[in-house]
Amino acid sequence: MANIAAQRIKREFKEVIKSEEVAKCAIKVELVNDSFTELKGEIAGPPDTPYEGGNFVLEIKVPETYPFNPPKVRFITKIWHPNISSVTGAICLDILKDQWAAAMTLRTVLLSLQALLSAAEPDDPQDAVVAKQYKEQPEMFRQTAKHWTSVYAGGPAKMSDLDDKIRRLTDMGIEEHNARVALSSYNWDLERATEQLFMTVMAKN
């Protein structure tokens, strides 16, 4: 890794650690290796959102050309959000692409991602299924996102009705996460989710 990238990341790392957001437990970074090429980020779900109470872990890869090119960031924690892939955690935020500027830092990236959790941009969806639900059935979306937060990000909400539906599917031998994805994608319609799951299984065989 280029010296400049490592040096800059070291400083930014310190900057984040000392920031007031860290003091308030809103964001966090940790080193993954000694060479500063990979970091683990963490952001707290913002209050008054379905993500409240959850902790979201991010994978941050620093390219050799940093800070002239953006870091590569994705969600490790599974999340239900129109701008984040529920499958891979990929994010298509403009500042992580063509709107990146060398003056931005790890801290600004983490804060922007936190802001994205507060205000989704459904017109620039990265997960079309989630985006459709977000626009057409906002309450359903909120419930689903809250449910994902509680299951994957340690959120407080327990939603027994949703858990029951998942159990119905796992009892049939479906893997739990697959069951959750199918139900979430079909607005928790057990019948359609089941149908879709078994179609896929059949197609695979």
Partner 1 sequence: MSFLFNLLKGAFLRMLQLIWFGKRKISNSLSIYVKTNTGNTLSIDLDPKWDIRNLKEIVGPQLGISPEDIKIIFAGKELHNSTIIEECDLGQQSILHAIKLPPGKNRLNRKKDTKNLIEESIDEGSEANESGSKPLNETLIDLPLEDSDRHENHSEQEQQQARAHFYVYCSLPCKSVEAGKLRVRCATCGSGAVTVDRDPQCWPDVQQPRRITVHCENHDCQTLLSSLAQKDEGTPQVRYAQFYFKCANHVSLGEKDEAVPLYLIKPNLRNVPCLACTDTRDTVLVFPCEAGHVTCLDCFRDYCVARLRDRQFEFDDNHGYYTLPCPAGCQNSHISEVHHFRLLSPEQYEQYQRFGTEEYVLRAGGLLCPRPDCGMGIIPPDQTDEERSRSPDEDDCRRIQCIGGCGYVFCRRCLQGFHVGECDSQQPTTYSSTSAVSCLSGYAIDPLRASEAKWDEASKKTIQISTKPCPKCRTPTERDGGCMHMVCTRAGCSFQWCWVCQTEWTRDCMGSHWFG
Contact status: 177 vs partner 1 (CB under 8 A): no
Verify binding: residue 172, partner 1, rule CB under 8 A: no
- Choices 27-35, 50-58, 100-108, 169-177; region in contact with partner 1 by CB under 8 A: 100-108
**H-type helices in the chain, by residue range?**
3-18, 20-23, 106-118, 128-136, 138-152, 160-171, 176-185, 190-204
Residue 61 β-bridge partners: 38, 72
Size of the site for partner 1 (CB under 8 A): 30
Nearer to partner 1 by Cβ, of 144 and 150: the residue is 144
Under the binding rule (CB under 8 A), the answer on residue 72 touching partner 1 is yes
- 92 is a catalytic site residue: yes
Decide if residue 102 touches partner 1 (CB under 8 A). yes
Integer angstrom CA distances of residue 53 from 48, 150, 152, 153, 155:
10, 8, 11, 8, 5
When asked if residue 74 is in the footprint of partner 1 (CB under 8 A), the reply is: yes
Three-class secondary structure of residue 37 per DSSP = coil
Edge-to-edge order in the sheet of strand 55-61: 27-31, 38-44, 55-61, 72-75
Q: Are 62 and 39 in contact (CB under 8 A)?
A: yes
> Is 99 near partner 1 (CB under 8 A)?
yes
In this structure, the strands spanning 27-31 and 72-75 are unpaired
User: Does residue 115 interact with partner 1 by CB under 8 A?
Assistant: no
Which range, of 48-56, 126-134, 165-173, 187-195, touches partner 1 by CB under 8 A? 126-134
Token code pair at residue 161: 């009705």
Residue 11 sits in the site that holds partner 1 (CB under 8 A): yes
Binding residues (CB under 8 A) for partner 1: these are 2, 4, 7-8, 11, 65, 67-69, 72, 74, 85, 87-88, 90-92, 96-103, 125-129
Catalytic residues: 92
